[in-house]
Amino acid sequence: MMELNRTTQSGNTAENIAGRDINIKTYNFEAIKVSYDKLSQLFAKIEEERKSNAPLNQFIEELERFTKPKSGVVKTLEQKLTEGEMQSFIEYALDAKETYSKFLMKHQFLKSAQEINVYLLALVRTYFNHQIYPVIQSGADQAAIGNLIVKNIVEPILAQLKEDTLGFTAEHIDGMLYFLTGNCYLEWK
């Protein structure tokens, strides 16, 4: 008879006692880092533009697109929020939109500032269309939508503005949302 190899392991602990029959694959992924280099470079360029005192006299093409209402049926911001059953947001939305519009006009003569606004408006639009609009369509209540706006739009964008030299605030980011809504780039129903 063949004798089995016996081992005593009293007092020892093991997570895996299967021996050679378990294959463990380890994948080392480098953490995906979102690059904010573009914003950093644009904020640095603002200071250069201020020193050179070479203001623009018009909006760059990309920003001009966002400042004009999309063609087609144009509804007011109030109509859009009412249709989306977001009436309690109307007063704040109008104020935030005006605050952002004034902020945009204040910095309209610096090309880098315009490029930063284009970048941020595009982020607001993208985040809204992919993360907020589907929730609106599913019938979520106003409080839930408001919370999603803060968590999925305002906070992530503010996190990207670490080198901000223009003075963006959470209300400016909210204002961008309503600015885009008023110009028919976002739907609420």
Task: Please indicate, yes or no, if residue 15 is contained in any of the structural domains.
Answer: no
Closest CA to 78 of 69, 87, 67: 87
Task: Please indicate, yes or no, if residue 146 is contained in any of the structural domains.
Answer: yes
160 contacts: CB under 8 Å, gap ≥ 6: 34, 36, 39, 123
Number of structural domains, the chain?
Answer: 1
| Residue-wise pLDDT tens digits, 127-170 | 999 999 999 999 999 999 999 999 999 999 999 998 899 999 99
Task: Please indicate, yes or no, if residue 43 is contained in any of the structural domains.
Answer: yes
In terms of pLDDT, which residue wins out, 107 or 52? Answer: 107
pLDDT higher than 70, residue 32:
no
| Residue-wise pLDDT tens digits, 55-72 | 677 889 999 999 988 877
11 contacts: CB under 8 Å, gap ≥ 6: none
Task: Please indicate, yes or no, if residue 23 is contained in any of the structural domains.
Answer: no
Start-to-end CA distance of the chain, whole Å, equals: 80
Task: Please indicate, yes or no, if residue 159 is contained in any of the structural domains.
Answer: yes
- Determine the pLDDT at residue 53: 75
pLDDT band at 40 (very low <50, low <70, confident <90, very high): confident
Instruction: Find the domain containing 176 and state its range.
Output: 37-182
Task: Please indicate, yes or no, if residue 97 is contained in any of the structural domains.
Answer: yes
Work out the angle between the directed axes of helices 170-182 and 111-127 (0-180°, nearest 10). Answer: 80
Task: Please indicate, yes or no, if residue 86 is contained in any of the structural domains.
Answer: yes
| Residue-wise pLDDT tens digits, 72-117 | 778 899 999 999 999 999 999 999 999 999 999 999 989 999 999 9
Task: Please indicate, yes or no, if residue 10 is contained in any of the structural domains.
Answer: no
pLDDT higher than 50, residue 25:
no
